Structure 1
Amino acid sequence: METRCAWANSSEMMRDYHDKEWCVPSHDDQYLFELLVLEGAQAGLSWSIVLKKRDAYRQAFHHFDLEYCANLTELDMENIRTNTEVVRHPLKIKSVKSNALAIMEIQKEFGSFAEFLWAYVDGSPIVSNWQYDSQIPAETDLSKKVSKDLKKRGFKFVGPVTIYSYLQAIGIVNDHISSCSFHGN
């Protein structure tokens, strides 16, 4: 029988996310962008709310195609903002465009967004050994550093708490508790 981090037991959707995505290392720039957008949208909300809206986000932002998102017009963003299936916060929607543009600049400089992010940990995930979910921090020195660097490059909705959650989501940090069946994955 598989054991999971406690938060993953709230719904089937959360279990699937926990089992298949959370803390799984990714080097795919489009996926990294998708999770950055979703983590930014989550600020102030629960992750389950954002996951429920994920398909609508994929439709609204053409599966997080960087080129498409970088070229969103004011009218495009207003049309997305009126979509009740996404988080309708106007600055969060505008951040999709600015973050896409910032990622494209990073790609020019570093070859990929993944190369830029994974350089913070020399290409190897940080594997934590927490006993309980309650021990997992909201932010760390790493998330503060990445957040600061991203903000300097023009990213929005990338505070240190959001970025720590993001680093977990994309597998740079593996915070599965030690008794979780997915801790070693």
Structure 2
Amino acid sequence: MKMECSWPGDNQLMRMYHNEEWCVPTTDDQYIFEMLTLEGAQAGLSWSIVLSKREAYQKAFHNFDITFCSNLTDNDLTNIKEQYNVIKHIAKLQSVRSNAQAVIKITKEFGSFSNFLWRYVDFEPIINEWHSEGQIPAQTDLSNQISKDLKKRGFKFVGPVTMYSFMQAIGMVDDHVTSCVYHTSNKERKIKENGF
């Protein structure tokens, strides 16, 4: 019998994120930037806290419009810290602006932020075959490499552990356990069985 990964527990936001977004491949730069921001905000905190504040982040940063975020002033960021239910860590909030500026530079060079990131995996997600959640790594050589490369380009809060979570968030890796109905192999099987 196929089950689901256990890490979301009974938290509804966590379950929705696991079922609908986690490890689903995306090339949408605005969504990718959102995930980069939220994963950076998580550093030292739990993902459930970040998800509970996600709607406030979306309002504060205009749904993570990259141009808007790149043009934020220090006063804008202070106002966001004071007026919105975001994590009150000023360096993390400032990183939204500097990371947006870095994304714009990458976009000019590679056509999109998505192109830059997905070339690390030859534009194909890594489908892992973990049998238990304890096997899933916190970081990998690849997340370490991406972390180093992004830091060189001026990104903040992009350590190797954060980058591995980010890779999961945008579907560069599928780390659902093999017994989870949302693992790629099970989703493909379900599609075939339903005749789609």
TM-score, scaled to structure 1:
0.98
Q: Percent identity?
A: 59
Q: What displacement does 1:2 show?
A: 5.7
Q: For 1:119 and 1:138, how far apart are their aligned partners in 2?
A: 21
* Partner in structure 2 of residue 121 of structure 1: 121
SS across alignment from 1:93:
helix
* Partner in structure 2 of residue 56 of structure 1: 56
Task: Give 2:9's aligned amino acid.
Answer: N
SS across alignment from 2:142:
helix
Task: Give 2:98's aligned amino acid.
Answer: S
Q: For 1:84 and 1:104, how far apart are their aligned partners in 2?
A: 25
Task: Give 1:171's aligned amino acid.
Answer: G
Q: Deviations over 1:55-87 (max 9, x none)?
A: 000000011001110000010011011135100
* Partner in structure 1 of residue 96 of structure 2: 96
Q: For 2:129 and 2:41, how far apart are their aligned partners in 1?
A: 28
* Partner in structure 1 of residue 12 of structure 2: 12
Q: For 2:166 and 2:41, how far apart are their aligned partners in 1?
A: 12
Contact 2:39 2:166 in 1 (8 A): yes
Contact 2:60 2:84 in 1 (8 A): no
Structure 2 unmatched ranges of 5 or more: 188-196
Task: Give 2:60's aligned amino acid.
Answer: A
* Partner in structure 1 of residue 145 of structure 2: 145
Q: For 2:158 and 2:20, how far apart are their aligned partners in 1?
A: 24
Q: Cα RMSD over matched residues?
A: 1.0
SS across alignment from 1:19:
helix
* Partner in structure 2 of residue 155 of structure 1: 155
Task: Give 1:117's aligned amino acid.
Answer: L
SS across alignment from 1:106:
helix
Task: Give 1:108's aligned amino acid.
Answer: K
Q: For 2:164 and 2:8, how far apart are their aligned partners in 1?
A: 18
Q: For 2:16 and 2:110, how far apart are their aligned partners in 1?
A: 32
Q: For 1:84 and 1:122, how far apart are their aligned partners in 2?
A: 39
Q: For 1:2 and 1:45, how far apart are their aligned partners in 2?
A: 30
| Residue 24 of structure 1 pairs with residue 3 of structure 2 | no
Q: For 1:141 and 1:4, how far apart are their aligned partners in 2?
A: 27
Q: For 2:182 and 2:144, how far apart are their aligned partners in 1?
A: 26
Alignment of 1:59-70 (within 5 A): 59-70=59-70
Q: For 1:3 and 1:60, how far apart are their aligned partners in 2?
A: 36
Q: For 2:2 and 2:89, how far apart are their aligned partners in 1?
A: 38
Q: What displacement does 1:12 show?
A: 1.4
Q: For 2:46 and 2:93, how far apart are their aligned partners in 1?
A: 17
Task: Give 1:59's aligned amino acid.
Answer: K
Q: What displacement does 1:9 show?
A: 2.5
Number of corresponding residues: 185
